[in-house]
Amino acid sequence: MKRSDSRILTSHAGSLPRPQDLLDMNRAKQSGRTIDEAARTARIKSAVPEVVKRQVEAGVDVINDGEYGKTNFLNYVQERLGGFEPTGKTEQMGAMADRRDRSLFQEFYADELGPRSAPRPQLACTGPVTYTGQALLQQDIDNFRAALAGVNVEEAFMPALAPAYGGENHYYNSADEFDEAVAKAMNVEYKAIVDAGFVVQIDDPGLPSYWDRYVPAISLDEYRKQAQRRVELVNLGLDGIPEDRIRYHICWGSWHGPHVTDIPLENVVDLMLQVRAQMYSIEAANARHEHEWRVWEDTKLPDGKILMPGVVGHATNVIEHPRLVADRLLRYANLVGRENVVAGTDCGLGGRVHPQICWAKLEALSEGAALATKELWA
């Protein structure tokens, strides 16, 4: 994996704005309406080179396919794992789920977000868990590889979901047996991405953000036990994959809300560092987590690891000044070493800010990294 050996490299957390026509097809598909799958497949194929070009124009060094082949990041796994059936029940996701923040700020959620969105169907495991998404994954790989032809970038990555979002277990003898089956199935996807020549990014927002979903709250010790198990499952899913081809991303949820009940980074940072990845991507730009650079005063980044702090955020339309971006990067570089820092975003920008704002933020990211480079390598 590329390091910032001679300058601060830039990347981002994954999701980028999709074209409106692709968004419309995705929403129709998610709602259960019949769509022209051939037209959607063709639009994805033509859209990936567009998003690759936009990243390069914005000055991003380590790029991806915008996650264009996925209708929704949490839902896409349902299309790629066998052994599941609908339970007839539904569940709310993200900001619409029952959370302590939602209880504390009921008026905000009612006034700003309005009625809860349509919940997604719950799935139950009713047979052996298998990976069945080879064709869809290969389509993503082929589209991205074709889009990269003739393009000069430092590196390319593809995100995939952590193996901890499978559904109810109605088949295996224990929860542990079920969870391990999901992890082993997802290993097929992770390995295929790396075998194709890309870095795989494991997205695991649940590691910190599920803390807020316990209503009432559970003890920190109990939560850490559950989080430790998540880490073990991620590492099981990464079995056989070289550590230097793995990025690991955590966040506290991507919705625009108060987030006053987020678990502090200091309470899970040791667990995050147990994940067998070379790079760790964390939130560091928004008002709830920017102060957590202080965690790295007392926590040593292990030798050989890379930290990708978010230095532009998804939670505001305000475009960060390049000087602010540089100052954030300098702070981290002085704590963990300049060669161990890559400039990133708090979370995926697609769907969280307007496309025009997204690209302006990535340009500010690149400009700020250039300023920091000038000072760090002066």
| Dihedral angle of Cα 32, 37, 39, 44, to the nearest 10 degrees | 90
Q: Where are the domains of the chain?
A: 9-376
CB 202 within 8 A of CB 234: yes
Closest CA to 345 of 17, 1, 6, 7: 17
pLDDT 10s digit of each residue in the chain, 378 long?
Answer: 999 999 999 999 999 999 999 999 988 887 778 999 999 999 999 999 999 999 999 999 999 999 999 987 767 787 899 999 988 887 766 666 778 888 899 898 888 877 666 677 788 999 999 999 999 999 999 999 999 999 999 999 999 999 976 678 999 999 999 999 999 999 999 999 999 999 999 999 999 999 988 888 899 999 999 999 999 999 999 999 999 999 999 999 878 889 999 999 999 999 999 999 999 999 999 999 999 999 999 999 999 999 999 999 999 999 999 999 999 999 999 999 999 999 999 999 999 999 999 999 999 999 999 999 999 998
Read off the pTM.
Answer: 0.95
Q: Radius of gyration of the chain from Cα atoms? A: 20
Closest CA to 127 of 179, 84, 167, 178: 84
Q: What is the 3-state secondary structure (H, E, C) of 108-149?
A: HHHHHHCCCCCCEEEEEEEEEEEECCHHHHHHHHHHHHHHHC
What's the CA gap between 335 and 332, in Å, rounded? 5
Query: 337: which 2 tokens?
Result: 């070493």
Its CATH class, for the domain covering 9-376, is alpha beta
